[in-house]
């Protein structure tokens, strides 16, 4: 415009010509103003409708929170529940209605999503997993080393790893290493050796569906192996966020079996563990030993100096199976199938009480076979057995991981080794929700991580995923049916 005016000012001509020019300029100005006004109106409408779509998506997050916050005695299917999570109408403005759908990648299928939440305790925590577990996730040695260097607090690079010296040398933009926990899986893109194919595999648009371009080899982005299967990379098996509070299922502080006498006294007064077990714990402690984890008590035998047993009135009654030698005696814990659930639920070896965060435990009731098999002590075969069997186990039995031992899936030795990595509970859920209008088609996608480990549920993480595109086809027939019954 200003250039057009400058050109006009520099031109010579008759009054008529100038008048015509002015008229022409005025027309242009009007047209331009009209265009600008139209663009602004359209933009405002898109902004408003975009905001409405975002609010509809947030209704899905709110729905998830209220379901997770409901009393435990009213169990609700949060894994795949279209009645609660698919095409839920939240507003009707006459010309358009607003809906949300909460969706997640299906466990097996790659041609449809499920309508439910993503359990973060069902995955391997990349902030706490050890070297072997990370390697079992399919990361090569260099990536494992670089990830460990990225998250550990020191500046000493492992032989295959990378610390600040490497990241400072990057061009064009050097950056700082984290030396702390990873917050999102995408953050791993900053770590040496990691790229999108490691993090999301072949699922370039991260929707859990096998899209055509994700199964055509190198014909189109992303590269894939065209085998009809969707490799979802780390996203399917790993999380940066999972923890629980160190308390029992009913919310009581656990008893620290490495604690002081006042703490050990609670074993008799606050648990229904057999006297033999209580006495065993005291005897081991009196012998100067400490426990690594409560699961260590399973079928445990200990050889202790004779004077550790029978020092006071309680320990004079030695446990069954005790055998007195000249100087040492062997005592047994009396912890078997019946006692194990209470041992796991009520006892701890951590100090700090119930406020302590215990990060990175894997929920044996929800983890996929791939996740379970990534734990060093669990074979592929056992992982498959766990997944096959758990639907037939009563909920009450599944309150602790003890059922893996009770059902004979792990022997006592294996169970003791793997138990410190396991839980039977989940406190963090990832929720992906798309809010959309019909008719109209505006949509927004949001992702939240909801944390249930505190007094009240809270959103610990929230982001917009709209740029990834519409995550799942909206079933319009079903939708119009819902709007106009
Ligand atoms: Ca480091
Ligand atoms: Ca996909
Ligand atoms: Ca491809
Ligand atoms: Ca594939």
Residue ranges covered by each domain of the chain: 1-126+426-485, 127-240, 255-343, 356-423
CB distance 269 to 314 below 8 Å: no
- How far does the centroid of ligand 1 lie from the alpha carbon of residue 162, in Å? 8
Residue 2: pLDDT over 50: no
| Tokens representing residue 110 in the block | 């790659």
Instruction: Calculate how far, in angstroms, residue 219's C-alpha sits from the geometric centre of ligand 3.
Output: 6
Q: How many C-alpha atoms does 413 have within 13 Å on its Cβ side?
A: 0
Residue 485, pLDDT score:
31
Mean pLDDT of 239-243: 97
pLDDT score of 78: 95
Q: Average pLDDT over the chain, rounded to whole? A: 88
Ligand number, closest to the Cα atom of 468: 2
| Closest-CA residue to 300 (of 315, 279, 314) | 279
Cα of 85 from ligand 1 centre, angstroms: 41
The string of DSSP letters for 330-363 reads EEE--BSTTTHHHHHHHEES--SGGG-EEE--EE
Phi/psi at 305 (5° precision): -60, 140
Q: Which residue has the higher pLDDT, 389 or 22?
A: 389
Query: Counting ligands in written order, which one lies closest to the CA of residue 204?
Result: 2
The ligand placed nearest to the CA atom of residue 176 is 1
Under a CB-based contact definition with an 8 Å cutoff, are residues 354 and 248 in contact?
no
Residue in 81, 107, 68 with CA at minimum distance from that of residue 390: 107
Distance CA 325, CA 415 (A): 30
Give the distance (Å) from ligand 4 centre to CA of residue 225. 5
Ligand 2 center from residue 198 Cα (angstroms):
15
CATH topology of domain 127-240: Ribonucleotide Reductase Protein R1; domain 1 (1.10.40)
Residue range 372-423, pLDDT digits in tens: 999 999 999 999 999 999 999 999 999 999 999 999 999 999 999 999 999 9
Tell me what pLDDT residue 109 has.
78
137 Cα: distance to centroid of ligand 3 (angstroms): 23
Higher-pLDDT residue of 467, 3: 467
What is the Cα–Cα distance from 25 to 6, expressed in whole angstroms?
11
Instruction: Provide mean pLDDT across the span 30-37.
Output: 52
Question: Cα of 358 to ligand 1 centre, how many Å?
Answer: 22
The listed range with the strongest mean pLDDT (3-17, 122-136, 200-214) is: 122-136
| Ligand 2 midpoint to CA 214 (Å) | 6
Ligand nearest to the CA of 165: 1
Whether 283 contacts 302, CB under 8 Å: yes
Structure tokens at 122: 């069902």
- Which among 291, 362, 349 is positioned nearest to 130, based on CA atoms? 362
Say how far apart CA 446 and CA 102 lie, in whole Å: 10
The pair of structure tokens assigned to 365 is 């009731």
pLDDT beyond 60 at 98: yes
Task: Name the pLDDT band for 13 (thresholds 50, 70, 90).
Answer: very low
Lowest mean pLDDT among 2-16, 116-130, 149-163, 433-447: 2-16
Q: Is 203 exposed, middle or buried (0-12, 13-18, 19+ CB in 10 A)?
A: buried
Question: How far is ligand 3, taken at its centre, from the CA of residue 115, in Å?
Answer: 27
The ligand whose atoms approach the alpha carbon of 214 most closely is 3
pLDDT in tens, 115-158: 999 999 999 999 999 999 999 999 999 999 999 999 999 999 99
Omega of the bond prior to 385 within 30 degrees of 0, cis? no
Q: How many CB atoms lie within 10 A of CB 250?
A: 8
Weakest mean pLDDT among 23-37, 141-155, 240-254, 318-332: 23-37
pTM score, whole prediction = 0.85
Residue 465 Cα to ligand 3 middle (Å): 22
**Ligand lying nearest the CA atom of residue 179:** 1
Give me the long-range contacts of 69-77 (CB less than 8 A, separation at least 24).
69/452, 69/456, 69/457, 75/395, 77/116
26: phi then psi, degrees, rounded to nearest 5: -60, -40
Residue 71, pLDDT score: 81
Q: How remote is the CA of residue 428 from the centroid of ligand 3, in Å? A: 33
- Parallel, antiparallel or unpaired: strands 357-359 and 243-245: antiparallel
Say yes or no to pLDDT of 475 above 80.
no
Determine the distance separating the centroid of ligand 2 and the alpha carbon of 107, expressed in angstroms: 14
pLDDT exceeds 90 at position 79: yes
Ligand 1 centre distance from Cα of residue 130 (Å): 15
pLDDT recorded at residue 326: 61
CA 82 – CA 143 distance, rounded (Å) = 39
Residue 441's pLDDT is 83
């Amino acid at each position: 415009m200003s250039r057009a005016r400058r050109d006009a000012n520099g031109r010579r001509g008759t009054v008529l010509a100038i008048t015509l020019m002015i008229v022409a300029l005025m027309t242009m100005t009007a047209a331009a103003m009209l265009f600008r006004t139209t663009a602004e109106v359209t933009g405002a409408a898109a902004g408003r409708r975009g905001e409405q779509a975002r609010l509809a998506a947030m209704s899905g997050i709110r729905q998830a929170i209220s379901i997770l916050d409901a009393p435990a005695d009213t169990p609700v299917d949060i894994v795949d529940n279209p009645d609660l999570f698919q095409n839920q109408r939240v507003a009707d403005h006459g010309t358009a209605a607003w809906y949300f759908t909460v969706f997640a990648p299906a466990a097996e299928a790659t041609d449809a999503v499920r309508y439910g939440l993503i359990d973060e305790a069902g995955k391997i925590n990349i902030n706490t997993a050890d070297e072997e577990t990370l390697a079992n996730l399919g990361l090569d040695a260099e990536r494992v080393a670089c990830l460990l260097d990225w998250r550990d607090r020191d500046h000493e690079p492992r032989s295959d790893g990378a610390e600040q010296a490497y990241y400072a040398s990057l061009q064009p933009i050097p950056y700082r290493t984290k030396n702390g926990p990873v917050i999102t899986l995408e953050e791993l893109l900053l770590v040496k050796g990691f790229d999108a194919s490691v993090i999301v595999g072949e699922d370039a648009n991260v929707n859990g569906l096998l899209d055509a371009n994700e199964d055509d080899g190198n014909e189109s982005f992303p590269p894939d192996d065209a085998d009809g299967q969707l490799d979802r990379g780390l996203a399917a098996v790993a999380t940066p966020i999972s923890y629980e509070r160190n308390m029992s299922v009913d919310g009581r502080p656990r008893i620290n079996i490495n604690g002081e006498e006042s703490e050990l006294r609670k074993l008799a007064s606050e648990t229904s563990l057999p006297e033999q077990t209580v006495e065993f714990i005291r005897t081991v402690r009196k012998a100067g030993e400490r426990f690594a984890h409560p699961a260590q008590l399973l079928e445990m035998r200990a050889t202790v100096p004779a004077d550790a047993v029978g020092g006071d009135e309680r320990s004079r009654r030695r446990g069954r199976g005790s055998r007195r030698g000249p100087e040492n005696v062997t005592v047994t814990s009396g912890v078997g199938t019946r006692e194990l659930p209470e041992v796991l639920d009520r006892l701890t070896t951590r100090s700090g009480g119930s406020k302590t965060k215990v990060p990175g435990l894997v929920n044996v009731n929800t983890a996929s076979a791939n996740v379970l098999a990534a734990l060093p002590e669990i074979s592929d075969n056992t992982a498959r057995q766990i997944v096959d069997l758990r639907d037939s186990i009563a909920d009450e039995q599944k309150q602790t991981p003890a059922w893996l031992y009770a059902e004979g899936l792990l022997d006592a030795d294996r169970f003791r080794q793997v138990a410190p990595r396991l839980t039977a509970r989940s406190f963090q859920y990832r929720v992906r929700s798309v809010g959309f209008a019909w008719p109209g088609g505006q949509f927004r996608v949001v992702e939240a991580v909801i944390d249930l480990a505190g007094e009240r549920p809270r959103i610990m993480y929230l982001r917009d995923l709209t740029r990834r595109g519409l995550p799942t086809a909206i079933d319009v027939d079903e939708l119009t049916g819902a709007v106009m019954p």
